[in-house]
Amino acid sequence: MADLQDELHPPAEVGELAQLFGAVPELHTPVSDPDAEPLDRARALLAAHPVADGYSGLPWALRHLPWFDLELGESAVDTDVPRLREGHVGALLWSLHLPEGLDGDRAVGATLEQLDLVKTVVRNHPEGLRLARTAGQTTDAHHCGRVAVLLGPAGAAALGDSLGILRSLHALGLRALTLSGVSWASEAGLTRFGEEVLREMNRLGVLADLSGASGDTIRRVLAVSKAPVLFTRSAARALRPHPANLPDDLLSELGAAKGLCMVPLTAEQTGPTVRDVADHLDHVREVAGVECVGLSGTYDAGTAHPQELGDASCYPHLVAELLRRGWAEADLALLTWGNVQRVLRESDFTARAAQQRREPSTAKIADLDG
């Protein structure tokens, strides 16, 4: 039942038991010394509420290394177990995205190879990593001293326009799918088949990632989806006009839908300093709401990172900057861990309800889109 419990806002009897055994820190109870230095306070807060990182490009980066040891430490990449622990990362989504130009059967095959690689990497690093699918499993992994690895997002091309392949990928552990770059989720928005894909994702519990999707696709997904959506790598366009960043009207709509905008720690999208990243977090919180903002390291994805945020160990520097700006500990706990847990949990609840009403879809793209 771990995945049914909300460690941030549990029922009274669950909360009392968890408090008794120290599993659930009360959000209104400070976990850091308010008189300590911001960096020390940040580390104390992250020890209680670790980072759930929305995007890691590590799988593709590891394909190019002849040998690596993530538990001992690996200087050839931005992410390894020692740095994840130093940065107080408790969970992260491992991207299954592919280089541009792969589509059709090649995209399906390459995605399956990525899935196999991730499972092999996690299996070979059991003291540091653990595969997880649900909010409860991510919490369990953290309590056992492991970093929870969630599979996804994958690119929509990985489906090969087949709902059967979507179900197969979900059975292998896929948790998120990016809805862009295919005929049924394009600049023109979602087609009828695209809407059917989204409904099947809701039934399975696969989250819709809308970073890089067109405005028409985003609005249609927000209207159709019964589960919360993610933007795994999107910041505020009002502060930096990057095409993957969100304008304020879409941020407002995302807030109304209780989705999650995960701000990337990249110089291109957020700016060259930790203060620039904090500016984006401030803006997203103001426009969408504190329950709709999260963090996305975007490490090992081939992008430059702001000063003081060069690798996965650097999250305390960002949290310290937010503490200097007056962020409450309760808001920081939502930013780092609680909002991702909520989205995972609500997605699972939506899936269980949908499975009671809806059989697996057998729709074909040729039948719906012609």
Q: What is the mean pLDDT of the chain?
A: 92
> pLDDT at position 64, please?
87
Domains in the chain (CATH in brackets) are 45-355 (3.20.20.140)
Q: What is the pLDDT of residue 100?
A: 78
Q: What is the pLDDT of residue 105?
A: 86
Please give the Cα distance from 89 to 100 (Å, whole number): 29
Res. 183: pLDDT tops 60 = yes
Residue % of the chain over a pLDDT of 70: 92
- Tokens standing for residue 112: 């399956």
Say how many Å lie between the first and final Cα of the chain, rounded.
44
Instruction: Tell whether the model's pLDDT for residue 169 goes beyond 50.
Output: yes
Per-residue model confidence as pLDDT tens digits over 297-349: 999 999 999 999 999 999 999 999 999 999 999 999 999 999 999 999 999 99
Strand 260-264, strand 189-190: pairing: unpaired
DSSP code string of 172-191 = TTB-EEE--SBTTEETTEE-
Question: Mind listing the pLDDT tens digit for each residue in 50-99?
Answer: 999 999 999 999 998 999 999 999 999 999 999 999 999 999 999 999 88
- Statement: residue 31 has pLDDT above 80: no
pLDDT at 1 over 70: no
pLDDT value of residue 163: 98
Indicate the burial class of 332 (C-beta count within 10 angstroms; 0-12, 13-18, 19 or more): buried
- In this prediction, residues 171-175 reach a mean pLDDT of 97
227-281 confidence digits (pLDDT tens): 999 999 999 999 999 999 999 999 999 999 999 999 999 999 999 999 999 999 9
Helix (H, G, I), strand (E, B) or coil at 273: coil
Instruction: List, as one string, the DSSP characters of 37-70.
Output: -HHHHHHHHHHHS-EEEEEE-HHHHHTT-S---T
Residue 8 pLDDT > 60, yes or no?
no
- Report helix, strand or coil for 9: coil
Res 15 pLDDT > 80:
no
Contacts of 11 (CB under 8 A, 6+ apart): none
Count of C-beta atoms within a 10 Å radius of residue 199? 18
How crowded is the C-beta side of 256, counted as CA atoms within 13 Å? 9
Average pLDDT over residues 109-114: 95
Report residue 207: phi and psi, to 5°.
Answer: -75, 145
Long-range contacts of 218-222, Cβ-Cβ distance < 8 Å, separation of 24 or more: 218/250, 218/253, 219/189, 219/250, 219/253, 220/189, 220/190, 220/194, 220/195, 221/179, 221/190, 222/253, 222/254, 222/257, 222/259
CB 152 within 8 A of CB 95: yes
Residue showing tokens 């059917």: 196
Condensed to tens digits (0 to 9), the pLDDT of residues 270-311 reads 999 999 999 999 999 999 999 999 999 999 999 999 999 999
91: nearest Cα among 30, 26, 46? 46
Instruction: Report residue 239 CA to chain centroid gap.
Output: 22
Q: Kindly tell me if the per-residue pLDDT of 192 is higher than 70.
A: yes
Note the pLDDT of residue 29: 61
Residue 35 confidence (pLDDT) = 78
Taking only the tens place, the pLDDT of each residue in 76-87 is: 999 999 999 999
Whether residue 26 is predicted with pLDDT greater than 70 in this model: the reply is no
